[in-house]
A and B are shown apart, each in its own frame.
Chain A
Amino acid sequence: MAAIAVGVPRVVDQFGLLQLTIFAAMCILALSLGVVWGYGGILCFGQSAFFGLGAYTYAVTAINLEESTVAVILSIMVPAVFAALLGYFMFYGRLSDVYLGVITLSVTLIFFNLMNSTAGDVYRVGTARLNGFNGMPSLPTLNVPGDPGRLLDPTETFYLVMAVLVIVYVGLHALLASHFGRVVVAIRENETRCELLGYDVRLHKLLIFTIGGGIAGLAGCLFANWGAFVSPNVFSLTMTSQIIIWVIVGGLGTLLGPIIGCLIMQYLATMLGTQQLANTNLIFGTIFLAFVLLVPRGLVPSLRRLGARLVGRAPARGLEPGA
């Protein structure tokens, strides 16, 4: 991944580079749900809530401070803290999976409606006008820490986003290989057994959910930066269902899966956007259905199984998050 990142700007034009930058940012978002759902077994239908919260936190802070460093840090912290609060009530309240799905989905839609109704001059945070459904344009983009006048150019931003993607990917690998990560996977497999072995299931779920929230917030920050723009659509049903589709298509229970799923679906979306023959959402829905019915494990696990069968051994699913 790192090798590709270094070589790409030499062979791709400016437009291609911007495309890849946003793809990479979205891959980070896909990873956040990939770890929460695929490894933590937490059915979060509202991952976009943290993504959007990160984007808006960045926007508001960057406008007010006219500097991006603190804004980036807050764009991770605020969604993480919000995820921790929400998670506290859900996990310590012992809500079942179905309710988790409903609640997280409701939360993102509440944010969607809330931000949509902030049109007008009264809705401002400091010097930042929220602008309701029109969104917040002309956001200050990333600058070199400590030097607000020195903004990153598109190539530098591309390098940065790729580096963040690699760091998040490697970091999650390490996390899942750790004692904590292995317990998280064990909880997905059997909560009762984990409790009977003396592990606090609620706490572990809360922590992985919070980490997922922080990563989604970081992706939101990078997204807001990319277009120097954020609108309530970051909280929309389309947004949140997209993340779920990426993870389903790529494969639950892997880290590579959500990245692959995200890249394929975004590439498709870009291609389909250039034609008028068929409605993009219709095609996405069809792909989603096809995967749920025909390839329920998703691409990466299915291909891995196929490969294993060809080599003649059946690997145990689960704790080795090897890509």
Chain B
Amino acid sequence: MSDAVLQTVDLSIRFGGVEAVRHVNFTLAERELRCLIGPNGAGKSTLFKLLTGQLRPTAGRILFRGHDITGDYTHSIARRGIGIKTQVPNLFDGLTVREHLWLSARRTNPAGRTREIVDEILERIGIASLANGAVGQLSHGLRQWVELGTVLAGNPELILLDEPAAGMTHDEVARTAELVRDINRTHALIVVEHDMQFVKMIARTVTVMHQGAVLVEDTMDRILENSAVRDVYLGKHGGA
């Protein structure tokens, strides 16, 4: 357990009669890159909200590096080192790209070092030319990158990416996949994505969720051959 970055134990949340996440037992190892897939409503984004404290679970526990963070405030979980790019980018529309990165890096760094980090990240993501423009006017794809950069600037130990390639052109998707692999050299990641091309580019281990529960966890190749997964995606599931 000690080398697990993140572990959930029987994690569940119920909204009225709907159990959006059901008894999820999930373990993420150091430097692991895990893809989380599943049809709409499978509970992927809800799971992310539980992990970041935006929702409180009705049952189960969340352990981050062995610390129980279940029910902690969002900001204290972030302080422990979990960063998230949300499904719909959460940005400061009136502020510049540079401000975003600055606010993220400045929390843990002195002013001088913050400036260096901001420039590094702008370079790394390839958005240096947008640095001083307001974020509100950017396209969805660029907003995704700004949010990714903002998360990176805070240097969290674990990075959650909720649909990082949504709204991107083919070239942008490829560039994002490259970034994700690069980030994975130093950070553990969980990536939720619908775009199977993108998942194929980055995935090693894939977790498939369905109706709030983990359906199967395996390598990408074997997931693609898995008949249960195919049924879930094509809607031919029986029994559940």
Contact = CB atoms under 8 A, between A and B. Distances in A.
Interface of A: 179, 182-183, 185-186, 189-190, 192-201, 314, 316-319
Given A198-B78, A200-B75, A316 B92 contact: no
Which of B84, B93, B94: most chain A Cβ within 10 A?
Answer: B94
A208 to B, nearest CB: 16
B96 interface: yes
Contact of A317 (B86, B107, B134, B150): B134
A316 B91 CA distance: 14
Which of B84, B90, B91, B134: most chain A Cβ within 10 A?
Answer: B90
Contacts, number: 79
8 interchain residue pairs of minimum CB distance: A189-B92, A198-B78, A316-B134, A195-B74, A193-B90, A318-B94, A198-B79, A317-B94
Contacts of B83: 196-197
Interface string B65-80: 0000000011110110
A321 to B, nearest CB: 13
Contact of A316 (B54, B76, B132, B150): B132
B59 interface: no
Interface string B147-158: 000100010000
Contacts of B111: 179
Contact of A190 (B52, B74, B93, B102): B93
Given A192-B54, A197-B78, A198-B79, A182 B104 contact: no
Nearest to B103: A186
A186 B150 CA distance: 13
A26 B92 CA distance: 32
A195 B90 CA distance: 11
A199 B107 contact: yes
Interface size class of B (residues with CB under 8 A): 20 to 34
B92 A196 contact: no
A175 B175 CA distance: 39
Contacts of A193: 90-92, 150
Given A201-B75, A317-B134, A190 B103 contact: no
Interface in B10-62: 52, 54
B133 interface: yes
A177 B96 CA distance: 15
Given A197-B104, A198-B154, A316-B134, A189 B78 contact: no
B107 A189 contact: no
Given A316-B94, A316-B132, A316-B133, A195 B103 contact: no
Contacts of B76: 198
Contact of B95 (A197, A198, A319): A319
A186 B95 contact: yes
B187 interface: no
Interface in B121-137: 132-134
Nearest to A197: B104
Contacts of B133: 316
Given A189-B94, A190-B92, A316-B94, A196 B74 contact: yes
A185 B99 CA distance: 11
A179 to B, nearest CB: 6
B194 interface: no
Given A196-B78, A199-B75, A319 B107 contact: no
Given A198-B79, A199-B107, A318-B96, 10 more contacts: A182-B99, A182-B106, A189-B92, A190-B91, A192-B90, A196-B83, A197-B83, A199-B103, A316-B94, A316-B95
B95 A189 contact: yes
A190 B90 contact: yes
13 contacts: A182-B103, A182-B106, A192-B54, A193-B91, A194-B103, A196-B83, A199-B75, A199-B103, A316-B94, A316-B96, A317-B94, A318-B95, A319-B99
Which of B54, B83, B103, B134: most chain A Cβ within 10 A?
Answer: B103
B95 A185 contact: yes
A317 to B, nearest CB: 5
B224 to A, nearest CB: 33
B164 to A, nearest CB: 15
Contacts of A314: 134
A179 B91 contact: no
Interface string B190-202: 0000000000000
Given A185-B95, A316-B133, A316-B134, A198 B107 contact: yes
Contacts of A186: 92, 95, 99, 103
A314 B96 CA distance: 12
Contacts of A318: 92, 94-96, 99, 134
Contacts of B73: 195, 200
Which of B75, B76, B86, B91: most chain A Cβ within 10 A?
Answer: B75
Nearest to A195: B74
